[in-house]
Amino acid sequence: MSAVTPLERRITRRAFVVGTTATGAGLAIGLALPLSPRAAAAAEGAPEVNAWVVIRPDDTVVVRIARSEMGQGTLTGLAQMVAEELECDWSKVTTEYPTPGENVARKRVWGSFSTGGSRGIRSSHDYVREGGAAARMMLVQAAADAWGVPASECTAAASVITHRPSGRTTTYGAVADAAAKLDPPASVTLKDPKDWTLIGQPVKRLDTLDKLTGKQVYGADLKLPGMLSAAIRDCPVFGGKVARLDTSKAESMPGVRKIVRVGESAVAVVADTWWRAKTALDAVDVAWDGGDNTKVSSASIADTLTRGLDADDAFVNHEVGDAAGAIATAARKVEAVYSTPFQNHAPMEPMNATARWTPERCEVWCPTQNGEAALAATASAAGLPIEQCEVYKIHLGGGFGRRGAFHDYVTQAVTIARELPGTPVKLLWSREEDMLHGHYHPVMQARLRGGLDADGNLTGLHIRLSGQSILAAVFPQNLRDGMDALAFQGYWAKGDHALAYTVPNLKTDHAMRNTHVPPGFWRGVNANQNCIFLECFMDELAEAAGQDALAFRRKLMADHPKSLAVLNAVAERAGWGTPAAAGVHRGLAHFNAFGSYVAACAEVSVADGKDVRVHRIVAATDCGYAVNPAQIERQIAGSFVYGLSALFSQACTVKDGRIEQDNFHVYDSMRIAQMPVVESIVMPSGGFWGGVGEPTICVAAPAVLNAIYRATGTRYRTFPLKDHGLRLV
């Protein structure tokens, strides 16, 4: 990707802005703004009909997508939405990323670049469809003007415009240049969902071929003329710094160009190849000062969280009636304590960024889940105004939240590049660096107490969480009077993460206990542990009440029909209530998260009390509207790989203030042979837009745990299961 020229800032008569509001941002979305020199050059002579649509003379449609592609299918899904309203030939659709710098210069015409929390589609579906609809109207108008007929007499389909009375036709490519010169429509009308022909179809992904052929370039693959490579080592104790540094041996090693101190805590070596940089870095003699954090261990953190279970200083999220009183007077009381460990995102592609800095301009090429946040990090590290910086997004070799709110690798790359002005420098973390300097899924404990009456009805429920707050560390401005609402995902009174049970006396609260280990948004975030806590405890309550696990849940879900629908769907498909195969046991779980309703039924067998085989998981998702059912099925299966790997074998532990797991040999993932058959039931009920990539992960682990209990009679409440001698086979 070549350097860009300064952006055109002048607004012409074509600078029409269609106003809309992004959630919490007061964002104006422009459907057609003036071309910048970069946009014109990138289009290679093909006109930009509006910010979302570029059409080449051969009828190729280039759809610009602001969100990031990291394997979840965002590019294809959003392109489907634009193409649906554009009425173009899907076989000729391709995509490209606009840049965040151009987005700023064009008054954020593409909206938010943030890709996380399953918001890529559900928070942009309206304005991307409006972009496609506006472009279609302009193309039709251009054809009508050429024919001297009213636009109302013309229709568009598969990139062909037809004048109905005369039968004349033309193509999008033929009229695109004329359409680009028109004023955009003042308003657009979107299709009724019943008229969709592309949205809702399992079309093939647009990026698959490039991945299969090796054409796809990831950040770690990037090469620029004259580029140097950098390797970095940061203090392994969070919050620590360099105490002593001797670089004399490394300085004379082959290919070394420069050794750079990066802040107070890191040192980097720049060389002509990455391996030479890494080899020289290994030769640097560095001593670390970890400070008081060296006294922290997994045991000390666990002790802090355990004390939080009984602490008075807890934020109350949802309270109905008198939970404590109802439990105290219950005919039968049930109590359990669960805990979940730190987890690393562990994307296959380690953190990396390539930066080129001069006193006048800084450019960065990087995989990022939020191009605008990467641009802000670039400008800050470069010491330059935003207008003099640019970020070029590259497909991510995995993200899972790590490359969303955290751009430490971008800051480091720019800091290093400033030491070699005008030279592109690619910083690539080693696997060890990537494992030891993550932003980890928060550590959490939960104590659940329930009270049952003489008839086995749940009369009181208290869920006390004790553990980290992601928002307190990352976005403290989003705390609500000190409370982290995201810690209660799945337990809210209403909204995207609402509790799907009606309990007459209920209390959920959180004793916030933060550690020096930085937390982050790990795929599915807090819904993961919250679903384990609640759905395993529901099975414990059902057993104490002497009731079937499905029947017990159904009684509490009468007021939650969408949740009940996905639960019933998996139970029916799996054959709940009918005998399973010999030695096979079933477990259920369901949850509400990220605006969607999800459920799972797992079939599990356990041999010799330790060898666990997950034979099948039936999974149901109601995400409102299903843009691409095939992608949803892949997201469900992929998320189960992530969730079950964590359940069985993954945990990050702390010793002497640092993470102990430094590579995949001690932070393992499940293998293809261990993967269960996943039967997905995609059952969109319409009327809302829910997430897909984030919510589906949470139900796999508790469904499997509940099945393991039925197979073994042992209830496991701490993880990973390998610590109990269980292994996935």
Mean pLDDT of 236-253: 97
pLDDT band at 276 (very low <50, low <70, confident <90, very high): very high
- 569-619 pLDDT, tens digit per residue, is 999 999 999 999 999 999 999 999 999 999 999 999 999 999 999 999 999
Tell me the per-residue pLDDT of 373-407, one tens digit each, with 9 for 90 and over: 999 999 999 999 999 999 999 999 999 999 999 99
Determine contact, residues 462/301, Cβ cutoff 8 Å.
no
Question: Which tens digits make up the pLDDT trace of 60-83?
Answer: 999 999 999 999 999 999 999 999
Q: What is the DSSP secondary-structure string of 568-583?
A: HHHHHHHTTTS--STT
Quote the percentage of the chain above a pLDDT of 70: 94
Q: For 120-141, how does the pLDDT look when each residue is reduced to its tens digit (9 = 90+)?
A: 899 999 999 999 999 999 999 9
Cβ neighbours of residue 655 under 8 Å, at least 6 residues apart?
A: 297, 298
What is the rounded distance in angstroms from the CA atom of residue 143 to the CA atom of residue 704? 59
Say whether pLDDT at 51 is over 80. Answer: yes
Question: Max CA-CA distance within the chain?
Answer: 83
**198-207 burial: b if 16+ Cβ within 10 Å, else e:** bbbeebebbb
Token output for 565: 């629908």
Is residue 45 predicted with pLDDT exceeding 90? no
Tell me what the pLDDT averaged over the chain comes to: 93
Same fold, 224-291+345-436 and 298-343+440-728: yes
Mean pLDDT in residue range 535-543: 98
Predicted confidence (pLDDT) per residue in 672-718, tens digit: 999 999 999 999 999 999 999 999 999 999 999 999 999 999 999 99
**473-496 per-position pLDDT tens digit:** 999 999 999 999 999 999 999 999
pLDDT band, very low/low/confident/very high, at 44 (cuts 50, 70, 90): low
Of the candidates 348, 368, 364, 347, which has an alpha carbon nearest to the alpha carbon of residue 356? 364
Q: Which residues pair with 336 in a beta bridge?
A: 448
The pLDDT of residue 3 is 30
Which of 40-54, 147-161, 393-407, 410-424 comes out lowest in average pLDDT?
Answer: 40-54
Question: Could you tell me which residues come within 8 angstroms of residue 494 by beta carbon, excluding any fewer than 6 positions away?
Answer: none
pLDDT of residue 304: 98
DSSP 496: T
The DSSP call for residue 395 is -
458 pLDDT tier (thresholds 50, 70, 90): very high
CA-based nearest residue to 98, from 90, 109, 88: 109
Q: Residue 208 has what pLDDT?
A: 93
Q: Which residues of 525-537 are buried (b: 16+ CB within 10 A; e: fewer)?
A: bbbbbbbbbbbbb
Name the token pair of 196. Answer: 């969709």
Domain boundaries 16-198, corresponding CATH code: 3.30.365.10
The C-alpha atoms of residue 546 and residue 544 are separated, in whole angstroms, by 5
> Could you tell me the pLDDT band of residue 526, with boundaries at 50, 70 and 90?
very high
pLDDT of the residue at 46: 85
Where along the chain do its domains lie? 16-198, 224-291+345-436, 298-343+440-728
User: pLDDT digit string (tens) for 345-364?
Assistant: 999 999 999 999 999 999 99
Report CA-CA distances (Å) from 389 to 6, 68, 386. 10, 19, 5
CATH class held by domain 224-291+345-436: alpha beta
Determine the average pLDDT of the residues in 185-197: 97
- CATH number attached to the domain at 298-343+440-728: 3.30.365.10
**133 neighbors 144 (Cβ within 8 angstroms):** no
Q: pLDDT at residue 553 above 80?
A: yes
pLDDT tens digits along 246-260:
999 999 999 999 999
